[in-house]
Structure 1
């Protein structure tokens, strides 16, 4: 069965054999065939300290154990925060000994920290409003899948490295010393939730419109957007690779397959089920053939089907929302990595690196020169660096950052990009029982590592910017770019339309809410008068409702932005200010730099 799917996968790319993996102009220190470097120097322990101080603030300031969640988050952003904590645990479990001079001190501190943050993830399992998320959009469901699969991966790796027989206390007999790590007791629980939510989300796949693709929200007109399809790809391949199986049929009745799309006629769901791989392959094929990318090679947000709400027979995705968000460029990276692990097809990695380069270029950064394309020192004071498509001054931005009008959705996006970028650029390890790796894996591993090392200068530039937004309590702001600049000049700065990003044909519904019109809302005149308010609840900026007048919005934002500089000398105190979502983003960018910079030692 695997051979069948690998054969299908090869239609999407070319197996890496006899050609250069990445179409990059690598510096001389990163030529093809270079070996992956090992840790031979001292890592930047201040960066380690800053990374886990960001984690401490995230949990101490925003997480409440007695309710098992981050109360100020909404359902889907809470799922993302859980993913950030799991990622930090992975780094902590591997690297805390580097921070302590003796093994005993390092082990004691590690166990205390791992136990603390893992116990909070267990608490979050009970605090997560799983029943509410079942009735939400398909992307909301898939964030749940990724979060718990990531946690299962952490449990497996931590147990293997620290608690398998022979690793500790080998000479001491008895049940006390032969126990596996207690986190393994939670694997079946987390696996069950991941499986349930994947099955619920998979009902969003539709072939009647656009030749395939995931719908975003069943309460609205059909809209096939990038994030839902990227999540479907990443979630499906993660289920294929890491889902350990599930013997728990709850909450569905064994005899009612209609209530459970994944019901197979038995009380067990097996690991490595080919249906997950098939879903990932079909999803990826549809996405790359969907014309979802713009002239900069960035993913636009998604497609409507013109006339669908007025009885038209059109079934093509032909009305693209040109809005560009950072997270739409990130989640697919995890899907591409997973597909490579299964198929051995380096084309997936090549496409991921191409997307990363497009993102970095769109922040206004030159990888070859390892510096921003604009001379920031000559732009200031009194001006904002120009917009390049997904950032300015070499720093990743969303369009809402400069205005200070990001919703909870918008405040979460950059952290998501950094998390999936970090996963993509981890040192490749061969996946068991995949013979296709035999001839080319070593070369692919070396070239992938070399390509990722090329991003460190840009990543450090962004981490410095993000650290510059921290307040006295260690809380990160949303607009990282301002962390590079002298905020004492803010009173002299005018934000004008030239500094504000503008995208023709773009609807920023993630920050301003779904527009109240028939393009977005089914049966606008009669059937669902309040659906937009339900979908938008908590999403648009404080005091700002959804609007259809884009020009008026921009003029209003320009005026408001100019007025707020005098009132808010700290630009990151505007709008929602510093939140659990912005803290998750700060943690993600520092962790990304830590993980990649270790590889360069």
Structure 2
């Protein structure tokens, strides 16, 4: 679940609106950084850019298979999320190469080759994506598809405009290479068509008979109005309004499609900036805001069941909340809030987004005012875990199972310390192949191994009313308790792989799990170990830090 939230934490920061609104602070009283901290800007660091590029390289070389056009170890919906991560990272890489300056990039051909390499893999994924299977899955799975291809269209549009618009001129027979847009634009209609198909399929999940509205999670199971499906509906709908370029492809109605028939959509219904997409986003947001989906910490719980539904009662109210809290339920909504603000200019959307971000940061055990963890991490004995704070510990995001423009940017910059703290933890959770683990916190706590973890009452999440298949604990099996014969080792901070004795640290304070003559089992090797999903999560947090570090 860590995969999505890290990617979404910078949605508000990377596209500040030009709308004119009264000046006001987005930080609540007591959250303002201490004197001097607000001026500590993390300017772009080339090493961070290199780390981001390396994370992308490992993700694609280790997990993507061009011959099938997908990440075979991913499931359908997580593969769709990979598409969003790749498209977003391509956008950051393109802009990052400009920020670093041409003197640090030998020539445009190398830059274009890098962009085209990963973009070609997105094209391959268009054909490798199991679109037929996804049409029959849950509504949230369908909406991940919508976001993935709209993110790709956004990248195509921005990259072409930045680098190829100058080529568009009156045709000149002596200059045959002019008058060409970027080749990626050829694929926008296909990507738009898939986004349109899946948005319309998913929109059938909206229901007013139960709970007064909201998206159902799955068309074939007991009604469940959950946070992620509704957040995706909001984010996907406003993205369709803002970025869908239109679609003239009549499929799936086939060659017998007749625009005169009353029951089949016409091409005009698939035009850009269609008000129905905006209306859907607003409708979804209003329902979610009034649904009571947030807990006492301001975090979104997983969703609502309807008590007595299986027994045939007449109850139609969402009155049985699943208290399980996941990271992705806190991040996806930010895209919707940012988009709604862009369209309406209503600063309340941005304020509510910042409120949610700050709730998440507090729930990791991070003090925004002091710009540091609330707990003393230096006082922990080997194997001791810091206290659980609701959505993480030690100031690092975890899942329980593992505005005026100036003020808006100022608030975003105040999150830099926390985001850098998470990125540093993630980098220390890499192995010698550059693969990220899922449990980032362990990167900061070098004494934690699978054999010495100390569990106490304050280190476990409170699970009352929460449903998750791992809530009853981790199985006492070798794949979860450790692999003594599996070589472990972590990346040495931001400077690359290294193996030093435990307790001997690099200049940046990092260490490894490797000590003299002994291999300590790495907690991130448990279960499935490092996966395509954990790699994309690492990529996402590095990209997030890179984007925020460019703010002025």
TM, length-normalised to structure 2: 0.84
Secondary structure of residue in 2 paired with 1:321? strand
| Paired residues for 1:205-224 under 5 Å | 205-224=206-225
Report which structure shows greater RCO (CA 8 Å, sep ≥6). Answer: 2
Native 8 Å contact 1:465 1:483 kept in 2? yes
Cα distance between partner residues in 2 of 1:563 and 1:203:
40
When residues 308 and 124 of structure 1 are mapped into structure 2, their CA distance, relative to the original with a 3 A threshold, is same
Cα distance between partner residues in 2 of 1:276 and 1:265:
16
When residues 390 and 565 of structure 1 are mapped into structure 2, their CA distance, relative to the original with a 3 A threshold, is same
Structure 2 regions of 5+ residues with no counterpart?
Answer: 1-18, 485-519
When residues 130 and 97 of structure 1 are mapped into structure 2, their CA distance, relative to the original with a 3 A threshold, is same
**Cα distance, 1:498 vs. partner?**
4.1
2:340 is matched with which residue? 339
User: Are 1:68 and 2:69 counterparts?
Assistant: yes
1:429 is matched with which residue? none
Secondary structure of residue in 2 paired with 1:240? helix
| Paired residues for 1:431-442 under 5 Å | none
Secondary structure of residue in 1 paired with 2:225? strand
Secondary structure of residue in 2 paired with 1:246? coil
1:22 is matched with which residue? 26
**Cα distance, 1:102 vs. partner?**
2.5
CA offsets 1:345-378 (integer angstroms, 9 cap, x no match): 0100000000000000000000000100001110
CA offsets 1:151-187 (integer angstroms, 9 cap, x no match): 0000000011100035899999533221100000000
When residues 268 and 307 of structure 1 are mapped into structure 2, their CA distance, relative to the original with a 3 A threshold, is closer
When residues 490 and 376 of structure 1 are mapped into structure 2, their CA distance, relative to the original with a 3 A threshold, is farther
Cα distance between partner residues in 1 of 2:372 and 2:433:
30
Secondary structure of residue in 2 paired with 1:576? coil
**Cα distance, 1:205 vs. partner?**
0.2
User: Are 1:453 and 2:370 counterparts?
Assistant: no
Cα distance between partner residues in 2 of 1:317 and 1:98:
49
2:353 is matched with which residue? 352
Secondary structure of residue in 2 paired with 1:221? coil
Cα distance between partner residues in 2 of 1:292 and 1:563:
33
**Cα distance, 1:264 vs. partner?**
3.4
Native 8 Å contact 1:494 1:562 kept in 2? no
Cα distance between partner residues in 1 of 2:177 and 2:160:
16
Native 8 Å contact 1:252 1:260 kept in 2? no
1:588 is matched with which residue? 540
**Cα distance, 1:59 vs. partner?**
0.3
| Paired residues for 1:388-407 under 5 Å | 388-401=389-402
Cα distance between partner residues in 2 of 1:167 and 1:305:
58
When residues 255 and 171 of structure 1 are mapped into structure 2, their CA distance, relative to the original with a 3 A threshold, is closer
Cα distance between partner residues in 2 of 1:367 and 1:238:
31
User: Are 1:599 and 2:516 counterparts?
Assistant: no
User: Are 1:481 and 2:444 counterparts?
Assistant: no
When residues 169 and 391 of structure 1 are mapped into structure 2, their CA distance, relative to the original with a 3 A threshold, is farther
With 159-168 and 126-135 compared, the bigger mean Cα shift is at: 159-168
CA offsets 1:80-130 (integer angstroms, 9 cap, x no match): 011111111001111114446538724222101011000000000000000
When residues 483 and 178 of structure 1 are mapped into structure 2, their CA distance, relative to the original with a 3 A threshold, is same
Equivalences, count: 495
1:576 is matched with which residue? 528
Secondary structure of residue in 1 paired with 2:324? coil
Cα distance between partner residues in 1 of 2:411 and 2:362:
15
Native 8 Å contact 1:30 1:450 kept in 2? no
Structure 1 regions of 5+ residues with no counterpart?
Answer: 1-14, 402-442, 513-549
Cα distance between partner residues in 2 of 1:394 and 1:461:
7
**Cα distance, 1:495 vs. partner?**
3.0
When residues 313 and 47 of structure 1 are mapped into structure 2, their CA distance, relative to the original with a 3 A threshold, is same
User: Are 1:153 and 2:150 counterparts?
Assistant: no
Cα distance between partner residues in 2 of 1:323 and 1:71:
29
2:369 is matched with which residue? 368
**Cα distance, 1:43 vs. partner?**
2.6
Q: Alignment partner for residue 432 of structure 2, among 453, 457, 472?
A: 472
Cα distance between partner residues in 2 of 1:313 and 1:249:
41
Cα distance between partner residues in 1 of 2:392 and 2:170:
52
User: Are 1:462 and 2:414 counterparts?
Assistant: no
1:44 is matched with which residue? 45
Cα distance between partner residues in 2 of 1:274 and 1:478:
40
With 102-111 and 381-390 compared, the bigger mean Cα shift is at: 102-111
**Cα distance, 1:499 vs. partner?**
2.2
User: Are 1:495 and 2:493 counterparts?
Assistant: no
Native 8 Å contact 1:58 1:584 kept in 2? yes
1:294 is matched with which residue? 295
Cα distance between partner residues in 2 of 1:80 and 1:365:
28
When residues 250 and 561 of structure 1 are mapped into structure 2, their CA distance, relative to the original with a 3 A threshold, is same
Secondary structure of residue in 2 paired with 1:163? helix
When residues 195 and 29 of structure 1 are mapped into structure 2, their CA distance, relative to the original with a 3 A threshold, is farther
**Cα distance, 1:444 vs. partner?**
1.1
**Cα distance, 1:585 vs. partner?**
0.3
| Paired residues for 1:268-283 under 5 Å | 269-283=270-284
**Cα distance, 1:29 vs. partner?**
6.5
Cα distance between partner residues in 2 of 1:213 and 1:491:
45
**Cα distance, 1:268 vs. partner?**
5.8
Cα distance between partner residues in 2 of 1:508 and 1:218:
21
Native 8 Å contact 1:475 1:578 kept in 2? yes
1:504 is matched with which residue? 464
Native 8 Å contact 2:167 2:180 kept in 1? no
Native 8 Å contact 2:324 2:468 kept in 1? yes
With 498-507 and 287-296 compared, the bigger mean Cα shift is at: 498-507
CA offsets 1:431-454 (integer angstroms, 9 cap, x no match): xxxxxxxxxxxx711111000000
CA offsets 1:487-539 (integer angstroms, 9 cap, x no match): 47664333345422222100015xx5xxxxxxxxxxxxxxxxxxxxxxxxxxx
More helix by share: 1
2:501 is matched with which residue? none
